[in-house]
Amino acid sequence: MKGQWGKLAGYIVGTGAVATAITLLPARIGIDGNGWLPDLISSEGGAIDDLFWGLTIMSLVIFAIVCGIVVYSMVHFRAAPGDLGDGEHIHGNAKMEVAWIVIPSIIVLVIGVLSYVVLQDNEVGLYDKAAAKKPGAAEMVVDVRGFSFGWAFRYETKEGEPLSGDEDAVPSSELVLPVDKVVRFNVLSCSGKEHLGRIQEQVSRELAAGDEADEFAEIEPGICEREWDLTTDEDQKAAEEDATRTYEALMKRQDGKQINDEEQAVLDEQPRFHGDQQFIDVNHAFWVPEARLKIDAISGLRTYVQWEPNHVTGPDDNYQVVCAELCGTGHNGMRTDMCVVDQETFDWWAKLDEEARRDATCTNLRLLTCLGGDVDDRDDAIADVAKLSKEDPDAACDAVKEKI
């Protein structure tokens, strides 16, 4: 009997070693040297990565035990050649039944508690106003609006004052963040009839301009404006009622039922794109993979997430905000550039007007880091960088240093 246990342990260790070799090595190192996970640019993401690797190792151990026993049983308890008889009939084993209920329950509980602790650490002051002054709580707020199919961002101090000092400042369509500041993202999916009308108008204008080269019409970030102020209960209720009316009219029409003029009008207000009706009253999800944290953008409901970007985005880094919720035909194109800059550059960027921001895109801000921190006149420098990157889209640091 003792020898058998030793053999079984051997099988488990053997399976574990094989599983580890074919899982962990490519996971950590990867075929291309990058491993499974993208770069890490947030202070909170480290704990999530640790959790991820911890759970991967835990899964490997369980896999090794299960597969070790299966392989051992196949080898040692297989029927002898010519033996066509039934196997031994075994009925009930209280000890085993307790074990296979208790052990998985403990594992699930441990996973749940560890995940809770990690998420809790990342959410200082997110849902608790009293804790919002504690260290680790947000120092800045970004209002995030997801719409079909794009993103818009507006920046505020944590007291809710617009960063640029201009309440009517046009939201940015790219996400630019200062390094080493905890940022709280207030996330919402655009909805409401006014939007539908405005998007419809915008999209048909884009299409009329014959801009067929673009797969998706560029929709101005301003379309989410009404949503910035969707703070009262009445506003939210009105938005919900709009959504319900639209949905009911759509369902009625889909079921082949007669719809009245009012319902027809509701449906007519939905924007069309390439002949398809686009419903913007859908959910999205706000995600920067390199920051790890992700939150749903729900129509009519604010959701929150916060993280601290801790790496200035260099010229070779290419990070994006992506939508992580299948939201329609343009879902795969629902992404925009994001970048992290030093505090001085951010303060300068936040005050730029709409016109000047056209040059200060993430692509150009990334190249600006080639000049090091000591840029005397950012207005001039960004204009030069913008000119360079237009002439040479693959321009790298050498070209920037040489020409500027």
**Which spans of this chain sit near Cu ion (rule: CB under 5 A)?**
284, 323, 325, 327, 331, 334
Q: Which residue's entry shows tokens 């629902």? A: 334
Work out how close the CB of 336 gets to Cu ion at its nearest, in angstroms, rounded to a whole number: 12
- Output 139 or 296, the one with its CB closest to Cu ion: 296
Task: Give the tokens for residue 39.
Answer: 């770069």
- Least Å distance, CB 182 to Cu ion, is 26
Instruction: Give the 3-state secondary structure of residue 10.
Output: helix
Indicate the residue among 178 and 330 with the shorter CB distance to Cu ion: 330
Give the nearer residue to Cu ion in terms of CB position, either 16 or 289. 289
To Cu ion, the closest distance from the beta carbon of 365 in angstroms equals 25
Q: Nearest distance from residue 303's CB to Cu ion, in Å? A: 15
Residue closer to Cu ion (CB basis): 43 or 303: 303
CA contacts within 13 A on the Cβ side of 335: 13
> Cα–Cα–Cα angle for 200, 206, 210, nearest 5°?
135
Q: Which two tokens mark 275?
A: 């002949």
d(CA 300, CA 281): 9
Joined together, the tokens standing for residue 386 give: 């913008």
Q: Which is nearer to Cu ion, 280 or 385 (CB)?
A: 280
Pick the closest to residue 61 from 99, 19, 22 (CA basis). Answer: 19
**Residue 278: which residues within 8 A CB-CB, separation 6 or more?**
148, 199, 203, 270, 271, 272, 328, 329, 330
Cβ proximity to Cu ion, 11 vs 151, nearer residue: 151
DSSP tag of 172: B
Give the nearest distance from C-beta 297 to Cu ion in angstroms: 9
| In the complex, least distance from residue 294 CB atom to Cu ion, rounded to whole angstroms | 12
